[in-house]
Amino acid sequence: MKLGFSPLTAGLSYPKSLDLAAQLGLFLEIAYDQHEIDPRLPGARELAEMGRAAGVGFTLHLPFVDWNIASLVPQMQQLSLERTQRAIAFGAEIGAACGVLHTGLVPLRLPEAVAHAHQLINEALERLELAIPVALENLGLSEADLLETPSDLAELLETHPRYGFCLDVGHALIQRGPSGPQEYHRLVGSRLLHLHLHDNHGHQDDHLPCGKGAVDWDWVRGALEGFAGTAALEVTGGEAGVRQSVALLLGKNLD
């Protein structure tokens, strides 16, 4: 397994994140939304060079802010598709090992609206051109999320074999309870490409350092044995939160 962390959730600048990642042998998960929002951040070419200089690789979180790839409003869905495609190109330019994709929202929970949104997400996944591997992330954090169960995600992945699976253990805990990560892993673990690792108490998406909530980290460590993909820490707490989480996962004292 290759382990990394998100500078966005850690609250660290790129220079500090690159230094920490190089020191601990980690990669960085870049949040593409930040680069759309803040023009002061490095472009793809500059970021790729920064990574090469530090000896640090990348994964990429594809857009999710003001974004809905399953939107019932055609202009919104088209813009979301265009942003996603630009982000995939960005990921290819920085050499991202994979990109993580959310699966959309349907706030209008009428049967016809939900059915149409499912049609739209299927069409969107067919239309995207994948210059990097892309993993679909489990959500289930609100009633507006299009996919309501692990079976829904399993069915979507079965329909679209080009995509892998991103297991977000914190999301699974909130959606399905303590056995949520195991349930997702059992259903779609064969498609596992990437993980998001963070903790909470089962009520809200706190993004706590690993070991500070109710996630079963013994199970997670077991599931990661022999895993050849990538796993990104999405933890708060700055450098201390990252170090604490890495220590828990790897069984090392990093102070």
- For the entire predicted model, the pTM comes to 0.97
Whole-number Å distance between alpha carbons of 56 and 177: 35
pLDDT < 70 stretches in the chain: 252-255
What pLDDT, on a 0 to 100 scale, did the predictor assign at position 253?
65
Strand 2-5 versus strand 27-31 pairing type: parallel
Asked if 150 contacts 188 with a C-beta cutoff of 8 angstroms, the reply is yes
Domains of the chain: 2-250 (3.20.20.150)
What pLDDT, on a 0 to 100 scale, did the predictor assign at position 119?
98
Amino acid at the residue 67: W
What pLDDT, on a 0 to 100 scale, did the predictor assign at position 255?
58
Structure tokens at 35: 């680069």
C-beta neighbour count of 254 within 10 angstroms? 13
Q: Give the DSSP letter of residue 95.
A: T
Q: Which residues have C-beta within 8 Å of that of residue 168, sequence separation ≥ 6? A: 137, 138, 139, 195, 196, 234
Residue 26 phi/psi, 5-degree rounding, is: -110, 165
